[in-house]
Amino acid sequence: MAEELDLGSLSAIDQKELEVFCELLRMVSGLEARLMTSSEDEVVHIADLIQKGINGAHANDTKGMKSAVVDWITPKGQSLNLHIPRNAKAGRGFNHKCTGALLCPARLDWNNVESPMEWITLKRPPGFGRFFDLITILLQPNCQIQAFKHVFTSPSSVEQELKAMHSGNACLHGMRSVTKASIAYVAMQVRFALTSAQVFSCTDLVTDSKRFYNSITKLLDETDEKDEVDQLLTWWNRQIFPLYTDSEHMPTKDSALAQIRQKCEEIKERTTSISVGT
DNA sequence: CACGAAGGGTGCCTCTTCAA
DNA sequence: TTGAAGAGGCACCCTTCGTG
């Protein structure tokens, strides 16, 4: 199907969407044959069903993570200095030091930002590109891994003591390893759960989730960083899918963290030539 | 070993809220 | 007014565990 198209004539966005569509055809056996033999109305109906599934899955993830993320950022056996309600977003974002620190971009030091208002003025300096929103949450793999498990291997798998008696999403759909897109998706969901924004929107100017997601996927797609990214994915796989991972060449947690930190430093260097401020 | 109860996960439905 | 998103709840399914 894709081979018949002139890929060069497609925009970058269209090419990306085509890749996703081809992956979908590969994952869902019989879908391509069904589409090829369906009428236009049936194809529209199938597209509606897929979109409905996407929306539903996303809504469920958002709903579940909203309350669960409070547990993940709360130290074991302790409580947060300023309580964050599990079912409300108002006290999150830059209104709270814990969520604010996690949302603060990697190139900024949250401890040296005088006030949330100062951060807001720093938030979107002109000229800053794709990496500006790479937040320090990428430096918090524990939180990310808990979130990944919550979405893909079941909420109860987040705990050390496994309580689940029913197969999770990953098991049900044959997922045996993490993907760059899944990491970006989880990061986006965690980021939204930490913000004070009430309603999720890919394109709103406050959370700008679409750009955030694209920043991470682009970062992980960089061909000149392939070795480092591969090692990072291996470490992730070991954390999420230990049964399917070859542990022999697994990087340690420290080395994986060091790689992320190095990556953020590189981003910092790339952007230092651009002045911060409005 | 067979069966039923209980616990847990997922998907779906409905209602509410809010922004366009 | 309409559509999107979140919240709550329910039904169904699967697995474990206790009991006979």
Q: Which nucleotides in chain B have some atom under 7 angstroms from a protein Cβ?
A: 6-13, 18-19
- CA of A131, C1' of B13: distance in angstroms: 40
Helix (H, G, I), strand (E, B) or coil at A135: strand
- CA of A227, C1' of B1: distance in angstroms: 53
- CA of A191, C1' of C11: distance in angstroms: 32
More confident residue, A142 or A269: A142
- CA of A270, C1' of B19: distance in angstroms: 38
pLDDT of amino acid A161: 47
pLDDT of amino acid A257: 53
- CA of A87, C1' of B4: distance in angstroms: 37
> What are A91-137's pLDDT values in tens digits?
677 667 777 777 766 555 656 655 544 444 334 333 333 334 444 45
Question: Which nucleotide is the nearest neighbour of A62, by CA and C1'?
Answer: C6
- CA of A166, C1' of B3: distance in angstroms: 20
| Alpha carbon distance A62, A247 (integer Å) | 32
> What are A175-217's pLDDT values in tens digits?
677 888 778 777 777 777 777 776 666 655 556 667 677 777 7
Question: Which nucleotide is the nearest neighbour of A89, by CA and C1'?
Answer: C6
Do A263 and A219 form a contact (C-beta atoms < 8 A)?
yes
- CA of A58, C1' of B20: distance in angstroms: 22
Do A197 and A212 form a contact (C-beta atoms < 8 A)?
no
CA distances from A241 to A61, A152, A179, A190 (A): 20, 11, 12, 20
**Which pLDDT band holds residue A140 (cuts at 50, 70, 90)?**
low
| Alpha carbon distance A230, A63 (integer Å) | 31
Report protein residues in contact with nucleic acid strand B, where contact means CB under 7 Å: A 53, 56-57, 60, 153-157, 163-166, 168-169, 172, 198-199
pLDDT surpasses 60 at A246: no
| Alpha carbon distance A219, A224 (integer Å) | 10
pLDDT of amino acid A191: 76
Do A64 and A155 form a contact (C-beta atoms < 8 A)?
yes
Locate all alpha helices (DSSP H) within chain A, ordered by sequence: 12-27, 31-37, 40-73, 97-103, 116-122, 141-148, 169-172, 180-194, 209-221, 226-240, 253-271
* Token representation of residue A77: 């056996």
pLDDT of amino acid A277: 28
Do A212 and A133 form a contact (C-beta atoms < 8 A)?
yes
Name which of A161-165, A197-201, A259-263 the model is least confident about.
A161-165
State whether the Cα torsion A239-A243-A245-A251 is positive or negative: positive
Length reported for chain A? 278
The residue whose CA lies nearest the C1' of nucleotide B9 is A166
Question: Which nucleotide is the nearest neighbour of A166, by CA and C1'?
Answer: C14
The structure's pTM equals 0.74
Report protein residues in contact with nucleic acid strand C, where contact means CB under 7 Å: A 55, 58-59, 62-63, 66, 87, 165-167, 192, 198-202
Question: Which nucleotide is the nearest neighbour of A52, by CA and C1'?
Answer: B12
pLDDT of amino acid A268: 45
| Alpha carbon distance A158, A148 (integer Å) | 9
> What are A21-72's pLDDT values in tens digits?
777 777 666 777 877 887 776 776 676 666 666 666 776 777 777 777 777 7
**Which pLDDT band holds residue A248 (cuts at 50, 70, 90)?**
very low
* Token representation of residue A263: 């990556």
Do A229 and A220 form a contact (C-beta atoms < 8 A)?
yes
**Which pLDDT band holds residue A254 (cuts at 50, 70, 90)?**
low
pLDDT of amino acid A118: 44
State whether the Cα torsion A143-A144-A148-A149 is positive or negative: negative
* Token representation of residue A184: 């970006």
Identity of the residue numbered A73: I
